[in-house]
A and B are shown apart, each in its own frame.
Chain A
Amino acid sequence: MDKKICAYICTGCGIGEALNIEELSGIVSGEMKTECKDHSCLCGSEGRAFLEADKAAGINTFVVCACSPRVMQTEFDLGDDTITVRANLREQVIWSAGQAEEGSEDSHQEWLNETAGDYVRMACARAKKTDLPEPYLLETLHKEILVMGGGLAGMTAAREASLAGSKVTIVERAAQLGGKALGWTKQFPTKAPYAELEAPTIGALIAEVEADANITVVLNTEVARIGGAPGNFGATFKPAGTKSEWDAPAKVGVDEQDRISKGEMEDPNAGLKPYAKNNGDAQKFGAVVLATGWVPADVSGYEHLGYTDNDRVVTNAEFEKMAKDGKLSGMNSVAFVMSPGGEEHDQDFPYANSVTSMVALKQAKYVRENNADAKAYILYQHMRTPGNMEMFYKGVQQDDGIFMTKAAVTSVTPSGNGCTVVAKNTLLGEDLSLDVDLVVLAAGMEPTTKHENSINLAYRQGPAFLDLDLFDGYADSHFICFPYETRRTGVYTCGGVRKAMNMEESMEDATGAALKAIQCIESADRGVSVHPRSGDKTFPEFFMQRCTQCKRCTEECPFGALDDDDKGTPLPNPTRCRRCGTCMGACPERIIGFKDYNVDLIGSMIKAIEVPEDDEDKLRILVLVCENDAYPALDMAGMRKHKISHMLRFIPVRCLGSVNMAWIRDALSAGLDGAMLIGCKYGDDYQCHFVKGSEIANKRMENIGDSLSTLGLEPERVRSEQVAITDYDKLPQLLNDFVDEIVELGPNPFKGF
């Protein structure tokens, strides 16, 4: 594309009054050698017409020097064949300037213009380096959806996808569809007044699925491995319970590979096809819905509840089976124990969520319906009945023979033909001892991902989801912001494997997963990113000739988008990619970049910052700001007119993970006096949109601090900070404190070299 660049300075919103527009135009047309125009209201209809007229006259790259790039995006989008670059003169210059101190109006005006000048320079530099993106398109796109697991969630997902027009294959390990729901005697109420249990509906769903021409059901079958990427997954099936040479290989790192070659360690993947090996017979799919469900949790670890050696103590799953098999006779008093902690703690059984509360209510009803004189005791620490299920709770409460109290159950001992349950801290004001025929423990629902790989991906980063330790065995899903996502693009979990949930919740969840799968396939079809940069046409491009096979990109990609060949050269899978640029930040050879975001581009922006020499009052500090949370927080600080030091220059980045340390070195060698990274919180409750980006950036910054000291620069000149989007009122303080520290350190000694 032959670029014709023009810069437009908007003088609306107070920009014209606060800044010297003539001087700014001079910078653009002189220093930056770019045509420059101004307009009193660029985002209005006249302004739009003004831009469109220029487009008709041949301008295809628009440098809009106005408000934050987060606002007026459609107003300044002049079409797919154009590039728009923004300079944030409003939120981050004039709105963050504060009031001039008395007697220093001139210097206030001076640095205000300097700041604005730098933003205009950076925008012009960016415009020159930005190219039009060309979407990545697969040679052949496969649209069929693979659903793993033929239980309630899997069948619902298949059915919903089919209703939306997709072809679906359900792979079920068992000999029949239905999963756990086949064993339920009754279901929770689904309609007002939510008081009565309902007859199971799973049979009707099975019939629907079997009659659906869009759905292929494969029984007695497991997925050996899934290779490929969204739009082009290749799934290899095998008979359930067997081993296959196509089983997904375990991850073997560089060190492990060394030990294997030295014979110090057995190859865990002996006899298996390498992960990158393509199976020509594999069935092709566009996306995967993982609905492999859950297994009842083991409760034998709680000795005081006596599950192991008392046959009158059963789990809720076992009790459900007793009810289903009609074996409740003689069960005239039953105690349901919800929490195993005794007096130690009040937590429910692990993996309970709200489901076990409702199951206890349901099963108490079984006891009562079986015998009108029977008594059911529910001893809970938490009664969780979300939404309309509160009505169900109320309904069960009405039953004369169901007795509930919050209680710490301290022991269950055999007595006669039954058990004696002792409970403390009850609502009745004293300790209870209950003689019952049976005790039912409210065991939780453990996701299958806790016990096995489940998804069986043939990826370089291994066959399972990552970070399962952090999430108790549930797939890492960025639970705070994007609960549907896994860290494997195109794979969506739903139902019991994602969270302990009841049938109604599972069905809703499965519907969502089906829609996500369709969205993923459609995005792959258009060659754009699916999440969280939905619709982004750019993707990382690799200049492979210069690759040194260091494997940093393949290791650090938070989403396992990069496989590699035998030598370690990365094999990108753009449809798995989320466009965070973590690979770009990792690459020491700087060979990875996007059309509109690369090492050279940001480097040029940094170099465009004017660095005044020999002036201790005019230090320059680079701040690379994550555009997901930190940049909006910064804008909000501006909207609230919080004063931010004029020495700072902000550049938005896709994710801190994309920050290449070359930029920090560029900045300091260009004479800037400090550099700061602001990103999202990381750790157990991470908020990073790309899960690992800010954490990785923080590590890299620690390392660069070391190398700065070898150059004789204070490591305090660089820093990494984490903020939440709501921290807009704390952000100015954090920034200004850093400026004070840099002022304390004095100017960069390399200035002027």
Chain B
Amino acid sequence: MNVQPDLDFIKYLKGAGGDTLKKCYQCATCSVVCPLSTDDKPFPRKEMIWAQWGLKEKLVADPDVFLCHQCGDCTAYCPRGAKPGDVLGAIRAYSYTHYGWPGGLAKLASSAKGLPMLIALPALVIFVLWVISGGMTIPSPETFSHYGYQQFFGHWDFHWLSKNVFFIDIMMLPAAGLAVFAAYRGVSTMWKAMAANAGMESAFRPSVLQFVKEFLWPSVLEIVQHDRFRECKTNIDRVKGHLPLMLSFMGLFTVTVWSALANDVFGLWIPALHGPMSVWNPIKILANVSAVALIVGVGILWSNRAKAEADAGATGTFYDWFLIWEIMAVGVTGLLAEIARWSGLAAPGYIMYFLHLVSIMMLFLYMPYTKFAHLVYRTFAMAFERYRDSAYGKNPLDQ
């Protein structure tokens, strides 16, 4: 391997929470204590020296970087204070930017400097849409109690698509679409790089069905069950936060899908499906339980993170905090909007609802570039790990 260390890459990592990376002296204590590391080419020791040497190309194509759950055992035991857990976090942050598309947006989402812009962008879009939708009014208490936020973007009589849904769709669908495309693009680039890096020349490729069945689904199952998270020792409490948070996302995803179906599809025939649901509607119950779980979950992660930074010396970064703040914002604005609706406070409710929309759009739009991207990258890295060790990952001629 002809080595060309990338000084800028090292500088980036140092600025993104990996400021301690140069302290590593390769004793491999980290790889020994890591509950997730494998016997064969264990991490994070090798990632540490690659990072010290600025070997960017090796690191962004290294599935181990994503297999790390940053439980912090390595950081706690490191005799040099090199904080391998934080360094790997920084490498992941770099990778999301590296694989992010469009590059400008990915870069914007990678640092605190971009934060005003990151908020301003969806806020402006939604405000403009609110203005041009002609809604632009705070409803009367009667309207508010009857429709809630269903007429935030106004109302028209076009039966087949409500005005509100239309406006939400035209902003959220492109945002989500962009995110899905960017994530797909990033993951497939990463997959190719990982395959090339692992020296895999597979003669066969699985069908999509096979891929999902053999590699993706088992990984998803593992993630849902938090099997790897539970291996952690130092920060085992994170499971208490991450699990409800993840389940709440699944719950809210279900609610969103149902709402879309109910409003945009079934609502065409059953107008009663429009309008706020009863509190006792099972879907609404799921939504509210999920919302509370979301706030509780992210709250636990928030305090864990703060504690890790105060006690264990973990480095606070924009990358880590942005996601926590954002999820907290989604949960809090949603809940406050709902409380405002129950209380009949139209004006504060509308403001909360506006903020809720902004935070949701931020979540969608920036998913592939921020820490939220671990949702897809780690899932696929885990799938890759299975794929690499499977028959597909090996050239039958070499066996």
A→B interface (CB under 8 Å)? 373, 375, 394, 397-401, 403-406, 427-435
Q: Would you list which residues of chain B between 60 and 113 have a CB under 8 Å from chain A? A: 80
CB contact between A428 and one of B10, B23, B46, B80 (< 8 Å): that residue = B46
Contacts of B5 in A (CB 8 A): 375, 401, 403
Contacts of A394 in B (CB 8 A): 23, 80
Can you list, as one digit per residue, whether each of B209-233 has a CB less than 8 Å from chain A (1) or not (0)?
0000000000000000000000000
How far, in Å, is A670 (CB) from chain B's closest CB? 65
Contacts of A434 in B (CB 8 A): 2-3
Q: Is B26 an interface residue (CB 8 A)?
A: yes
- Contact at B2–A429, with CB atoms within 8 Å? no
- Contact at A373–B46, with CB atoms within 8 Å? no
- Contact at B22–A428, with CB atoms within 8 Å? no
Q: Is B25 an interface residue (CB 8 A)?
A: yes
Query: A397-B22, A398-B23 known; A403 and B52 CB under 8 Å?
Result: yes
- Contact at A397–B23, with CB atoms within 8 Å? yes
CB contact between B50 and one of A375, A406, A428, A435 (< 8 Å): that residue = A428
- Contact at B7–A399, with CB atoms within 8 Å? no
Kindly state the interface size class of chain B when it binds its partner.
Answer: 20 to 34
Q: Is B53 an interface residue (CB 8 A)?
A: yes
Query: A394-B23, A398-B22 known; A403 and B53 CB under 8 Å?
Result: yes
Query: A427-B49, A428-B46 known; A400 and B7 CB under 8 Å?
Result: yes
How far, in Å, is A681 (CB) from chain B's closest CB? 36
How far, in Å, is B124 (CB) from chain A's closest CB? 39
Query: Which residue of chain B has the shortest Cβ distance to A383 in the bound complex?
Result: B25
How far, in Å, is A193 (CB) from chain B's closest CB? 14
- Contact at B1–A432, with CB atoms within 8 Å? yes
- Contact at B1–A430, with CB atoms within 8 Å? yes
Can you list, as one digit per residue, whether each of B6-43 has a CB less than 8 Å from chain A (1) or not (0)?
01001100100000001101100000000000000100
Q: Please report the C-alpha to C-alpha distance between residue A375 and residue B7 in the assembled complex, in whole angstroms.
A: 9
Query: Among B10, B14, B25, which residue has the most Cβ atoms of chain A within 10 A?
Result: B25
How far, in Å, is A338 (CB) from chain B's closest CB? 15
Query: Among A373, A375, A403, A406, which residue has the most Cβ atoms of chain B within 10 A?
Result: A403
Q: Is B55 an interface residue (CB 8 A)?
A: yes
- Contact at A401–B7, with CB atoms within 8 Å? yes
- Contact at B25–A428, with CB atoms within 8 Å? no
A-B CB contact pairs (8 Å), 28 listed:
A375-B5, A375-B7, A394-B23, A394-B80, A397-B22, A397-B23, A398-B23, A399-B22, A400-B10, A401-B5, A403-B5, A403-B54, A405-B49, A405-B53, A406-B26, A427-B26, A427-B49, A428-B3, A428-B49, A428-B50, A429-B41, A429-B46, A431-B1, A432-B1, A432-B3, A433-B2, A433-B3, A435-B2
Q: Please report the C-alpha to C-alpha distance between residue A405 and residue B54 in the assembled complex, in whole angstroms.
A: 13
How far, in Å, is B214 (CB) from chain A's closest CB? 28
Contacts of A433 in B (CB 8 A): 1-3
> Apart from A427-B49, A428-B3, what are 10 other A-B pairs with CB-CB below 8 Å?
A394-B80, A397-B22, A400-B10, A400-B54, A401-B5, A427-B26, A428-B53, A433-B2, A433-B3, A434-B2
Q: Please report the C-alpha to C-alpha distance between residue A257 and residue B55 in the assembled complex, in whole angstroms.
A: 70
How far, in Å, is A401 (CB) from chain B's closest CB? 6
Q: Please report the C-alpha to C-alpha distance between residue A429 and residue B52 in the assembled complex, in whole angstroms.
A: 14
Query: Which residue of chain A has the shortest Cβ distance to B81 in the bound complex?
Result: A394
Q: Please report the C-alpha to C-alpha distance between residue A87 and residue B202 in the assembled complex, in whole angstroms.
A: 87
Q: Please report the C-alpha to C-alpha distance between residue A400 and residue B9 in the assembled complex, in whole angstroms.
A: 10
Q: Please report the C-alpha to C-alpha distance between residue A430 and residue B11 in the assembled complex, in whole angstroms.
A: 24
Contacts of B23 in A (CB 8 A): 394, 397-398
Contacts of A373 in B (CB 8 A): 7
Q: Please report the C-alpha to C-alpha distance between residue A404 and residue B23 in the assembled complex, in whole angstroms.
A: 11
Q: Please report the C-alpha to C-alpha distance between residue A375 and residue B6 in the assembled complex, in whole angstroms.
A: 10
Q: Please report the C-alpha to C-alpha distance between residue A400 and residue B21 in the assembled complex, in whole angstroms.
A: 10
- Contact at A397–B46, with CB atoms within 8 Å? no
How far, in Å, is A365 (CB) from chain B's closest CB? 14
Query: Which residue of chain B has the shortest Cβ distance to A421 in the bound complex?
Result: B3
Please name the 8 residue pairs, one residue from A and one from B, whose CB atoms are nearest each other, closest first.
A400-B10, A433-B2, A398-B22, A403-B53, A427-B49, A427-B26, A430-B1, A397-B22
Q: Please report the C-alpha to C-alpha distance between residue A284 and residue B23 in the assembled complex, in whole angstroms.
A: 56
- Contact at A397–B25, with CB atoms within 8 Å? yes
How far, in Å, is A409 (CB) from chain B's closest CB? 14
Q: Please report the C-alpha to C-alpha distance between residue A400 and residue B14 in the assembled complex, in whole angstroms.
A: 9
Query: Which residue of chain A has the shortest Cβ distance to B52 in the bound complex?
Result: A403
How far, in Å, is A173 (CB) from chain B's closest CB? 42
Contacts of B2 in A (CB 8 A): 433-435
Contacts of B1 in A (CB 8 A): 428, 430-433
How far, in Å, is A581 (CB) from chain B's closest CB? 52
Contacts of B7 in A (CB 8 A): 373, 375, 400-401
Q: Please report the C-alpha to C-alpha distance between residue A403 and residue B10 in the assembled complex, in whole angstroms.
A: 11
Query: Which residue of chain A has the shortest Cβ distance to B8 in the bound complex?
Result: A400
Q: Please report the C-alpha to C-alpha distance between residue A405 and residue B55 in the assembled complex, in whole angstroms.
A: 14
Q: Please report the C-alpha to C-alpha distance between residue A19 and residue B176 in the assembled complex, in whole angstroms.
A: 102
Contacts of B22 in A (CB 8 A): 397-400
- Contact at A400–B11, with CB atoms within 8 Å? yes
How far, in Å, is B47 (CB) from chain A's closest CB? 10
- Contact at A428–B11, with CB atoms within 8 Å? no
Q: Please report the C-alpha to C-alpha distance between residue A403 and residue B54 in the assembled complex, in whole angstroms.
A: 9
Query: Which residue of chain B has the shortest Cβ distance to A403 in the bound complex?
Result: B53
Q: Please report the C-alpha to C-alpha distance between residue A190 and residue B126 in the assembled complex, in whole angstroms.
A: 63
Contacts of B50 in A (CB 8 A): 428
Contacts of B80 in A (CB 8 A): 394
Q: Please report the C-alpha to C-alpha distance between residue A701 and residue B341 in the assembled complex, in whole angstroms.
A: 109
Q: Please report the C-alpha to C-alpha distance between residue A75 and residue B50 in the assembled complex, in whole angstroms.
A: 68
Contacts of A404 in B (CB 8 A): 52
Query: Which residue of chain A has the shortest Cβ distance to B80 in the bound complex?
Result: A394
Contacts of A427 in B (CB 8 A): 26, 49
Contacts of A432 in B (CB 8 A): 1, 3
Query: Which residue of chain A has the shortest Cβ distance to B24 in the bound complex?
Result: A397
Can you list, as one digit per residue, whether each of B329-361 has a CB less than 8 Å from chain A (1) or not (0)?
000000000000000000000000000000000
Contacts of A403 in B (CB 8 A): 5, 52-54
Q: Please report the C-alpha to C-alpha distance between residue A241 and residue B214 in the assembled complex, in whole angstroms.
A: 83
How far, in Å, is B198 (CB) from chain A's closest CB? 13
Q: Please report the C-alpha to C-alpha distance between residue A404 and residue B5 in the assembled complex, in whole angstroms.
A: 12
Q: Please report the C-alpha to C-alpha distance between residue A397 and residue B52 in the assembled complex, in whole angstroms.
A: 9
Contacts of A397 in B (CB 8 A): 22-23, 25
Q: Please report the C-alpha to C-alpha distance between residue A431 and residue B53 in the assembled complex, in whole angstroms.
A: 14
Q: Please report the C-alpha to C-alpha distance between residue A375 and residue B55 in the assembled complex, in whole angstroms.
A: 14
How far, in Å, is A416 (CB) from chain B's closest CB? 13
Query: Which residue of chain B has the shortest Cβ distance to A433 in the bound complex?
Result: B2
Q: Would you list which residues of chain B between 358 and 397 have a CB under 8 Å from chain A? A: none
How far, in Å, is A83 (CB) from chain B's closest CB? 60
Query: Which residue of chain A has the shortest Cβ distance to B58 in the bound complex?
Result: A428
How far, in Å, is B193 (CB) from chain A's closest CB? 17
Contacts of B11 in A (CB 8 A): 400
How far, in Å, is B12 (CB) from chain A's closest CB? 11
Q: Please report the C-alpha to C-alpha distance between residue A373 and residue B26 in the assembled complex, in whole angstroms.
A: 25
Q: Please report the C-alpha to C-alpha distance between residue A398 and residue B24 in the assembled complex, in whole angstroms.
A: 9
Query: Among B2, B11, B41, B46, which residue has the most Cβ atoms of chain A within 10 A?
Result: B2
Q: Please report the C-alpha to C-alpha distance between residue A431 and residue B3 in the assembled complex, in whole angstroms.
A: 10
Query: Which residue of chain A has the shortest Cβ distance to B20 in the bound complex?
Result: A398
Q: Please report the C-alpha to C-alpha distance between residue A490 and residue B95 in the assembled complex, in whole angstroms.
A: 68
Query: Which residue of chain B has the shortest Cβ distance to A393 in the bound complex?
Result: B25
Contacts of A431 in B (CB 8 A): 1
Q: Please report the C-alpha to C-alpha distance between residue A373 and residue B46 in the assembled complex, in whole angstroms.
A: 25
How far, in Å, is A168 (CB) from chain B's closest CB? 44
- Contact at A428–B14, with CB atoms within 8 Å? no
Contacts of B14 in A (CB 8 A): 400
Query: Which residue of chain A has the shortest Cβ distance to B46 in the bound complex?
Result: A429
How far, in Å, is B20 (CB) from chain A's closest CB? 9
How far, in Å, is B48 (CB) from chain A's closest CB? 9
Query: Which residue of chain B has the shortest Cβ distance to A406 in the bound complex?
Result: B26
How far, in Å, is A633 (CB) from chain B's closest CB? 39
Contacts of A398 in B (CB 8 A): 22-23
Query: Which residue of chain A has the shortest Cβ distance to B28 in the bound complex?
Result: A427
Contacts of B52 in A (CB 8 A): 403-404
Contacts of B55 in A (CB 8 A): 428
Query: Which residue of chain B has the shortest Cβ distance to A373 in the bound complex?
Result: B7
